[in-house]
Structure 1
Amino acid sequence: MNDKPNSIEARDVAYQLHSYTDARRHEENGPLVIDKGEGIYVHDNNGKRYIEGMAGLWSVALGFGEKRLAEAARVQMEKLPYYHTFSHKSHGPSIELAERLVAMAPVPMSKAYFTNSGSEANDTAIKLIWYRSNALGQPERKKIISRVKGYHGVTVAAASLTGLPNNHRSFDLPIEGVLHTTCPHYRTMKQDGESERDFAKRCAADLEELILKEGPETIAAFFAEPVMGAGGVIVPPEGYWEAVQPVLKKYDILFVADEVICGFGRTGEMFGTTTYRLDPDIMTLSKQLSSSYLPISALLVNEKVYGPVADESHKIGTFGHGYTASGHPVAAAVALENLKIMEERNLLSHVQDISPRFLERLKALGAHPLAVEARGIGLIGAVEAAHPGLAETPGAVGARLNQEMQARGLISRNMGDALAFCPPLIISQKQVDEMFDIAQASFDAVAAELDSKAA
C-alpha cells in the first residue's frame, strides 16, 4: 500500500516546515502553490493570476521573468559556477560587484563584504562591531541598540535586534546586550498635543536616556531601518533622523543603516540613506540587490570600521569569519546585471513618476471606514485597519483583509492589522490602480461582513 501523498499541496504539508506560518493550521489548510510569474503577476498551480503586491518579500524589483537575469546566471554558471573568497582567493563577479557598491554608496564607504541574506548581513555587522571594539581596546563597548518594532532578521543575533515579540517568544531571545528603544510611530506613541517634531525629539531623548543609563562607554552601535518594514511600514516622523543622529555622534556610537528593504529605489531614491540624509558607518543590503533572483547580501563599511578590523586581523593572523557562499559568482553576476538593468531603464526615475499615484491611492484607501491610518513613501506603504467587532483580537481584521485580497487576486501581507503594499518597482500606473481597486473592493467586502456580524 502506497501512502505517499499525491497532490503537490499534500506533499508540501507532509514534508515542509514553513516560515512565519502556524504549522498546525498549515496542516489543515495547506499552501498556496505559486507556479510561475511575469512582471508584477504570479500564477498558482491552478492557473489563477495574482498581483504580487509585496514583490515577493519586498524584493523583486524588476518583477518576475526578467530574461536577462536568467541569462546572466546561465553564462556565469557555465564559466565559473562556484568559487569562494577565503584565504586570499577571489573572482571577477565579486570584485566587480564590490567596486560597484562602494562607488554607489551615498556616503563614503571603504569595503564591501558579501553574505547571503539580510539576516546574515546584520549578524555579521554585529560581529564586526564587537571585533572592532576589541581591536580598539574597548572590550566593554559591546551593547547594541535597535528599536521596538524594528526588523533586522532571524538569526540568533539579528532576531535579537528585531523588536517584534513573535521573533523572541520561545526562542529565548533577545540575547544579552541587545537593547530596544522607542518605536518612532507617531500615531500610536505620541502624547496629547505633541507635534511630530516634538515626538521626534522625545524619541531622541529616550535614546539618550537609555545610553546614559547603560553607560555610553558600553554602547557599540545603533541599528535602524530608514523606513521600518516588517514592523508595519512605519515612516519616521518629521525631524526624527535629524534629532537621533547627533545623539549617536555625541557618544561615538556606530550607526548601522539596515537598507535591506529600503535600498535600490524603494523609497524613491537609490537608498533610504539618501532620502533621509543619513550618515551611517555600516549599510546592510540585500533583497532588491539581485531582485531576489538569487540569494545575496552585502555590508558596506567605512574606514572607521574597516581600519581597526584590518589591524586586528593582522594581529591575530586571520579574519576568522566567512560563509561558503559569500560573494557567490553566480549570485554576484545576477546582482551586477540587475543593477545594470536598473540604470539602463532609469528605474529610479520611473519610481519617482509612479510614486505620486501609488501614494494617492494609498491615502484614499486610508480614508476607508475600516482604515485608521495610511502611511508610505516611494513605492512602499501600509494601511492599518480596525473594527469594533474585533477590537479584542489584535490582528484579526488584518488577517481577514489579507485573506479577502488573496481571494480576489492580490497578494499582500498583514503585519498585525496593517496591510502592506510593496509592488515590484516596474509597476505601471494602470497596474497601481488595478492593485488598489482590488484592495478597495476587499475593504468594502470585509467591512460589510463585519458590520453585518456586529448588527
Structure 2
Amino acid sequence: MLTNDLLAAWDREAFFHPSTHLAQHARGETPSRIIRTAQGCEIEDRDGTRFLDAFAGLYCVNVGYGRQEIAEAIAAQARELAYYHAYVGHGSEASITLAKMILDRAPAGMSKVYFGLSGSDANETNVKLIWYMNNILGRPEKKKIVSRWRGYHGSGLMTGSLTGLDLFHRKFDLPFAQVLHTEAPYYFRRADPDMSEEDFSAFCAAELEALILREGPDTVAAFIAEPALGTGGLVPPPQGYWATIQAVLAKYDVLLIADEVVTGFGRLGAMWGSEFYGMRPDIITIAKGLTSAYAPLSGSIVSERIWSALERGTDENGAIGHGWTYSAHPVAAAAGVANLRLLDELDLIANVRRVGPVLLGALRSALGGHPNVGEVRGVGLLCAVEFVEDRAARRLFDPARKVGPAIAAAMLRRGVIARAMPQGDIIGFAPPFCLTEDEAERIARVAAEAVAETLGSGVSSA
C-alpha cells in the first residue's frame, strides 16, 4: 500500500492530466485512478479492482486489451529497428507494409498515406495540405474550412478550432477566423419537432449552402466531418444527410475530409464509416483503431486528386515543408500491421455487426421507457443514452445538476466504465470489438441500475 500511496502522491504532484479539472485533482478532491493491467474488455487498477471497459479507453482499443500478437510485434520491431525517420524518402518495412495494408482497405480513389501520431496532428496535416494544394492550383483565397457544431477533430490550435465544442474554445482564443461552423446533424435536438429526418437533412444542407454563399464559394476550401458524430454525442446522421451534404459540396467545389478517427477500421460494422454512409472523401483521417491504441499512430489518406496537386507543388517548389520527427515510427507501424492482421484473422468487424445490435437492443429494452430518457441511439458498437428532464418537450436538465456524470459514476461503482459526454447529459458506449453478448447485456443492466439510483426507476414498458 505504501507504493500505491506514493504513486498517488506523485500523480498529484507531478502529472499534468489532459481533460481534467486540474485544481480538484491536485487538491485530492477527485480520485487518482492508476490502471495496472487489462485483458479482453476488462481493465484492472492497482488495487486489483476490475472494470468492464464499455468505452474501449477512448473508443480506441478496438481489438481488445492484452493482445500478445501486437505486444510481440512491438518488441520485435524495437529490437530490430527502434527508430529511423521517414524524411527524404526513408522508410521501414513496417511503415511501408502498413501503408500498403491501409490502401488495400481504403475506399476507391485514395492514393497515399501520411503518418502522424494522433488524430489531432493528422487533421492539422489535412488543413495544411489543402491550403498548399489551393496555392499550387492558383486559388490563394480558397482557404476556409467548414466544420460542424458538436464535431470533434482534435485539441490543437487549428484542430481545436475545428472542434465544435465550447470546452475546447473557452479561454483558448479559439476558433481561428479561417474556421466556420454549421448545423450539427443532431436530429434529436432539432428546433422544429415536426421535421422528418429527411426534412432535417435538407435543412442542414441548406444551412451549409447558405454559409458557403455568405462567405463566398471561392473562399471555402473544405468541409470536415465525422461520418457519425463522436464526442459531440455519439449521433448517427439522419436519413439522407450525406447525400444532400455532398451535393452542396460538389456544387461549390468544396473538398470533403472524412474524420474517421473513431469510425475507421470497423466501429460501425463496416471497415469505413465513409463507405457505410456513401461518402466520397478527398481525405480520410485515421488514428485510434489503426493500432487499437497499442502505440500512438495516425494517418491522413489522401485522394489521387490531392496527391496529383502535391506532386506538382514539389516539382515547382522543391520538397514539401511538412513533417514530424516521429512520422511513420517503425514501432508504431509494427503495432498497426499486427493490429490490422488481428482485425481480419479474428473477424472482429463481423462481431461488431453481431453484438452491436444486441447492445443497442438491450439498452433500449432496459432504458427506453424511462421518463428521463430522451433517446437511445446507436450504430455498430457506438451507442448513447441521452437524458432529459421532460421527455415530451425534450427539455434538458440544468447542466449544474451533472446528471450524466452522476450516472457514469454510479456505473463505475458497479464495475462498468461508460463515458459522460460533453454538452449534455449523455452516456456513451463504445466497447472493444471482442465484446460478448453477455457483456453487452451486463452493460445495459448496470446502466439501468445506475439510472435508477440517480433518477429513480420510473420505467414503463419500452
TM-score scaled by length of structure 2: 0.94
> How far off its partner does 1:33 sit?
1.4
Partner of 2:133: 132
* 1:386 partnered with 2:384: no
Question: What does residue range 96-107 of structure 1 map to in structure 2 within 5 Å?
Answer: 96-107=97-108
User: How far, CA to CA, are the matches of 2:400 and 2:136 in structure 1?
Assistant: 46
- AA aligned opposite 1:410: V
Partner of 1:424: 432
Unaligned runs of 5+ in 2: none
Partner of 1:116: 117
Q: Deviations over 1:379-403 (max 9, x none)?
A: 0011011347993335610011111
User: How far, CA to CA, are the matches of 2:447 and 2:195 in structure 1?
Assistant: 32
Say if 1:14 and 1:5 are closer, same or farther in 2 by CA, change over 3 A: farther
* 1:278 partnered with 2:286: no
Say if 1:32 and 1:369 are closer, same or farther in 2 by CA, change over 3 A: farther
Partner of 2:221: 220
Partner of 1:377: 379
Partner of 2:175: 174
1:5–1:11 Cα contact (<8 Å) kept: no
1:5–1:14 Cα contact (<8 Å) kept: no
Match of 2:443 among 423, 432, 435: 435
- AA aligned opposite 1:368: H
DSSP 3-state at the match of 2:456: helix
Partner of 2:242: 241
DSSP 3-state at the match of 1:198: helix
Question: What does residue range 288-307 of structure 1 map to in structure 2 within 5 Å?
Answer: 288-307=289-308
Q: Deviations over 1:210-251 (max 9, x none)?
A: 000000000000000001100010110011011100100111
Identity %: 42
Partner of 2:9: 10
Partner of 1:77: 78
DSSP 3-state at the match of 1:414: strand
- AA aligned opposite 2:13: A
1:13–1:30 Cα contact (<8 Å) kept: no
- AA aligned opposite 1:133: N
User: How far, CA to CA, are the matches of 1:121 and 1:93 in structure 2?
Assistant: 19
User: How far, CA to CA, are the matches of 1:391 and 1:88 in structure 2?
Assistant: 55
User: How far, CA to CA, are the matches of 2:108 and 2:452 in structure 1?
Assistant: 45
2:150–2:163 Cα contact (<8 Å) kept: yes
Partner of 2:56: 55
> How far off its partner does 1:190 sit?
4.1
> How far off its partner does 1:185 sit?
0.6
DSSP 3-state at the match of 1:32: coil
* 1:413 partnered with 2:414: no
Partner of 1:25: 24
Partner of 2:208: 207
Say if 1:41 and 1:256 are closer, same or farther in 2 by CA, change over 3 A: same
User: How far, CA to CA, are the matches of 1:392 and 1:141 in structure 2?
Assistant: 41
Say if 1:395 and 1:137 are closer, same or farther in 2 by CA, change over 3 A: farther
Higher mean alpha-carbon deviation, 410-419 vs 251-260, is at 410-419
Partner of 1:368: 370
- AA aligned opposite 2:22: A
> How far off its partner does 1:331 sit?
0.6
> How far off its partner does 1:155 sit?
1.0
- How many residues are treated as equivalent by the alignment? 448
DSSP 3-state at the match of 2:279: coil
> How far off its partner does 1:300 sit?
0.5
> How far off its partner does 1:5 sit?
10
Partner of 1:165: 166
User: How far, CA to CA, are the matches of 1:10 and 1:372 in structure 2?
Assistant: 41
